[in-house]
Structure 1
Amino acid sequence: MAVEPDSAGVRFPPPLIYLGALLLGLAAERFVALRSFGIDWRLLVAAGALLFAAGAAIMLAAAGLFRRLGTNVRPSRPTSLIATTGPYRWTRNPMYLGMALVCAGLAIGFDGPIAFVLLQLLLIAIQTQVIAREERYLEAKFGDDYRRYKAKVRRWL
């Protein structure tokens, strides 16, 4: 992915990072003894579907807001403003939160404890390699406006 100079400098699309970790975890289930949460499949599917739906709704609402505001969704492109409405009133990273909930829902729904554990490790990577870059970029570009927003709204929830 081409990274523009006026951007957070994220080189790999975060949705593909989430998808890769999920697929790796689900594939690992075939080779490791721990293959189940040990919970009735109906409960797993229901919980997974609920998390998936919540995550998709948050993610789509955030991406839709960016489009309506006329700023780029992709972190490899320039940001023209700080979104502070919609889901951005509660979390500075609703798209990443939404992707995490979608992955958690799929891991639980497919009875994939390894995929669920990998998600926890993935979130550390997203925090340090993607969100940290975005925060440095936004602070450099928007200064006190971003620092005030950052002081009022949590990173995740």
Structure 2
Amino acid sequence: MVERSDRTVDNAGVKLPPPLIWLILQLAGLSIDSAWFKLQLASTAEMITGGLIVCLGFSFAVAAIPRHKKGGSNIEPWKPTTTVFTDGIYSRSRNPIYLAMLIGFAGIAIAAGSTVSLLFLVAFWAALRFYVIALEERYLEAKFGAQYRDYRDTVRRWV
């Protein structure tokens, strides 16, 4: 359990949901600079490349989300984590869902022909890394101790 104020809270303490951060930054980038908002299409190469990249990102989510459901653990970082997954996609990445979100963000930006959205990808990565993941890692270490530390020390954060 992680101590917060006067009470014990069994979650990472993430207040702003990562999908909301994703949506805000993606829409902001696309609104500022996008072929779509100029009533144009991005080039065929950009749309195909971006679409393939989105599919790649989706594949990471498809591999990770069922693992949570099967294991009876919450996906949402504002809910309690019941276990540390170390198998499947989690044997290759500690954060496959966030990796999926980053890859998908990049794919949409490319498919839309939005350079600004690609720049906002850096802001999204920073929000994930220094806000969401930092809170989650502290929480998981406090809750699971050596089990999480061993996992953290053997599996990379991203890939």
TM-score (norm 1): 0.89
Q: Which residue of 1 aligns with 2:17?
A: 13
Displacement of 1:60 in angstroms is: 2.4
> 1:24 and 2:32 equivalent?
no
> 1:99 and 2:101 equivalent?
yes
Q: Percent identity?
A: 40
Displacement of 1:25 in angstroms is: 0.2
> 1:66 and 2:64 equivalent?
no
1:129 to 119, 128, 131: 131
Matches within 5 A, 1:27-106: 27-29=31-33, 41-106=43-108
Deviation per CA, 1:4-46: give whole Å up to 9, x if none. 910001011101111110000000116xxxx9xxxx8121111
CA contact (8 A) 2:64 2:89 kept: yes
SS in 2 for 1:7: coil
Aligned length: 146
In the TM superposition, structure 1's runs of 4+ consecutive aligned residues that sit over 2 Å from their partners are none
Cα distance in structure 2, aligned partners of 1:42 and 1:28: 21
RMSD: 1.5
Displacement of 1:70 in angstroms is: 0.3
> 1:152 and 2:145 equivalent?
no
Cα distance in structure 1, aligned partners of 2:57 and 2:146: 30
Displacement of 1:47 in angstroms is: 1.1
Cα distance in structure 2, aligned partners of 1:64 and 1:99: 16
**Structure 1, unaligned stretches of length 5 or more?**
none
**Structure 2, unaligned stretches of length 5 or more?**
1-7
TM-score (norm 2): 0.88
